[in-house]
Amino acid sequence: MNVGGIGNITSLPAAATIEQVKAFDTGPGNMVIDALVRRFTNAEKTFDANGLIGGKGQVISPLLENLLTDPFFQAQPPKTAGREQFGQAFVQQMLDYSKTSHFEDLVCTATELTARSVAAAVIMIDVSVVIPTRDRPELLALTLRTVLWQGDVNSEVLVVDDGTGSGTGEVLERLGDSRVHLLRNSGPPGVSGARNSGIAVANGHWIAFLDDDDLWAPGKLRAQLSVAEDAGADWVYTGDVTVDEDLHVRGGAPPPAPKEMVGDLRRYNAVPGGASNVVVRREVLDAVGGFDTHLRTSEDWDLWLRLAALSLPASVPQPLVALRTHGGMASRAVDQMLADIEIVAHRHGVPVDRARHERWAAWMCLEEGRRAVALHHYARAVMAGDVNSLGRAVMALIDPHITRRGPSQYDEWAMEAQTWLNQVGELLTEVRP
């Protein structure tokens, strides 16, 4: 590894043939750092000796995110770089972006850029895990634990803060894991903008999504990557369960097979667990585009439909994702969801199952104790052709606690999930305030 003006790597395996020798540039080495030092000291200094200047500053996260979106960092080796990419024009881009920033912070950010680009080249990242978060540090803490216990994969974790930042940084500091990076949402506010900001700077060959309140089983990523690679698939999903705040399984079932799931996508979001489930190849995600920032809900369904139009996914039929139910869930915005499904249906020309969505809205309202509103949605489901919702409405009137019933203790799917959830439960006392 040579960190000169431009960083570069040469790989010479023992007894290598010429075809096995690899050499490529990683991006700016000292070039950008030195240019900043010369400019701010009027050339009295030509480099940051011992890192003393950058060591006094802090990384400007929005600027770093912006710089990492340069196409060079997304390109796969072999690749080459020079002053035409990281010379004075690049330095001016930094200055224009952060006109009021301190000199030390700019040098620190340029140093971090070099470190990140070298690390991405030396440590080939299998999966970039993108986690949008918004002021829920107590939920995020446990979610991150289940990401970091993934085995047999090289991963980076991109936590994209879409809120005030309250408590999020402290969660990451307590973890103290260099694989986890905190970013600010540089796009439109909301979960889609945050996910897209993470995608823009991701270095992994695969991109995985995870909401800040959901949980993964150990081995989830490796199981999905293995199945996808064996099948030659560009995206892959698994099964899920829903759990309460004490991590007791409340529901879940095996996922549909890929062909069935893709067929069902034309009527509703058939991917179990929503965005916290899917892993997709980076180049395929770039081809279809990221999440639609105009959709407040159903943005994942919209993306799955675009992926399904390209290829069939692979599937891991195990309960490897857990959705935590709580009052702050975005999926409880039933009115917004019902409006957004119409947008998705019109965009993709799909015959959406409105009765199914009305039943789901009714169930969410029952969980919140809003029985009158739930009955309204059941009535709309009946009007959409689901006569059986008459019986569901009657049951909602008879038993106000119907949503609290969990699966049978003999439910093998639930038992398999509860086994790993019990391991997660041991961490609850560590992360709860």
Q: Which among 122, 141, 157 is the end of a domain?
A: 122
Confidence band for 164, pLDDT divided at 50, 70 and 90: confident
Residues 157 and 303 in one domain: yes
Residues 158/183, Cβ–Cβ less than 8 Å: yes
pLDDT band at 291 (very low <50, low <70, confident <90, very high): very high
Residues 178 and 165 in one domain: yes
Q: Give the pLDDT score at 178.
A: 85
DSSP secondary structure letter of residue 16: -
Q: Domain boundary at 63, 93, 122, which?
A: 122
The answer as to whether 361 is a domain residue is: no
Q: Is the pLDDT score of 279 beyond 80?
A: yes
What lies within 8 Å, CB to CB, of 251 at 6+ separation is: 241, 242, 406, 407
Which own/partner pairs from 366-372 qualify as long-range (CB within 8 Å, at least 24 positions apart)?
A: 366/396, 366/400, 366/402, 366/403, 367/325, 367/403, 368/327, 368/332, 369/400, 371/396, 371/397, 371/400
Chain segment 112-129, per-residue pLDDT in tens? 999 989 887 777 789 999
CATH number at residue 163: 3.90.550.10
pLDDT mean across residues, the chain: 88
pLDDT of residue 397: 61
Q: Which residue has the higher pLDDT, 61 or 199?
A: 199
Alpha-carbon distance 317 to 304, whole Å?
Answer: 18
The model's confidence at residue 358, banded by pLDDT at 50, 70 and 90, is confident
Cα three-residue angle 188-27-5, rounded to 5 degrees: 130
Q: Residue 403 pLDDT > 70, yes or no?
A: no
The better pLDDT of the pair 179, 321 is held by 321
Q: Is residue 50 a part of any domain in this protein? A: yes
Q: Tokens in use for 11?
A: 């790989």
Do 159 and 168 contact (CB within 8 A), yes or no?
Answer: yes
pLDDT recorded at residue 62: 86
152 and 84 in a common domain: no
Of 291, 294, 293, 257, nearest in space to 274 by CA? 291
> Distance between CA atoms of 348 and 360, rounded to whole angstroms?
22
Tell me, yes or no, whether 235 and 273 share the same domain: yes
Listing DSSP states for 99-145 in one string gives: TT--HHHHHHHHHHHHHHHHHHHHS--SEEEEEEESS-HHHHHHHHH
Q: How far apart are CA 71 and CA 235, in angstroms?
A: 23
Evaluate whether residue 333 is within a structural domain: no
Q: Which of 102, 122, 142 is at the close of a domain?
A: 122
Give the tens place of pLDDT for each residue, 245-255: 899 998 899 99
**What CA–CA distance (Å, rounded) separates 10 from 237?**
37
Domain count, the chain: 2
Position 367 in a domain: no
Strand order in the sheet with 2-3: 2-3, 6-11, 22-28
Say whether both 82 and 208 belong to one domain: no
How does strand 235-243 pair with strand 249-253? antiparallel
To which residue do tokens 């897209």 refer? 196
**pLDDT attached to residue 16:** 77
Inside any domain, residue 353:
no
Of 131, 141, 211, the C-alpha closest to 171 is 141
Contact 239, 321 (CB under 8 A): yes
- Give which of 382, 386, 254 is closest to 318, Cα–Cα: 254
Cβ partners under 8 Å of residue 240, min gap 6: 252, 255, 272, 273, 276, 277, 319, 320, 321, 322, 323
- CA 27 vs. chain centroid, Å, equals 25
Question: At residue 57, does pLDDT exceed 90?
Answer: yes
Q: Cα(153)–Cα(165) distance, rounded to whole angstroms? A: 29
| Domain carrying residue 64 | 2-122
Whether 225 and 297 map to the same domain: the answer is yes
Taking only the tens place, the pLDDT of each residue in 302-331 is 999 999 999 999 999 999 999 998 765 555
Whether residues 215 and 159 fall in one domain: yes
The predicted pLDDT at position 428 comes to 73
CA-closest candidate to residue 228, choices 271, 258, 265? 258
Angle among Cα 297, 326, 335 to the nearest 5 degrees reads 35
Residues 103 and 145 in one domain: no
Classify residue 10: in a domain, yes or no. Answer: yes
Q: Which residue in 85, 144, 148 sits closest to 113, CA to CA?
A: 85
Verify that 107 and 167 share a domain, yes or no. no
How far, in Å, CA of 70 to CA of 65, rounded? 10
CATH code, domain with 28: 3.30.420.40
Give the DSSP H/E element, type plus range, for residue 320: strand 314-324
Averaged pLDDT for residues 186-200: 90
Residues 43 and 22 in one domain: yes
Distance of CA 96 to the CA centre of its chain: 29
Report if residue 258 sits inside a domain: yes
DSSP one-letter string for 269-305: --STTGGGT-EEEHHHHHHH----TT-SSSHHHHHHH
Tell me the one-letter amino acid at 287.
A
Look at 114 and 425; give whichever has higher pLDDT.
114
pLDDT of residue 369: 75
In a shared domain, residues 261 and 316: yes
Domain assignment present for residue 187? The answer is yes
Same domain as 152, residue 58: no
What is the rounded radius of gyration, in angstroms, for the C-alpha atoms of the chain?
24
Predicted TM-score (pTM) above 0.95: no
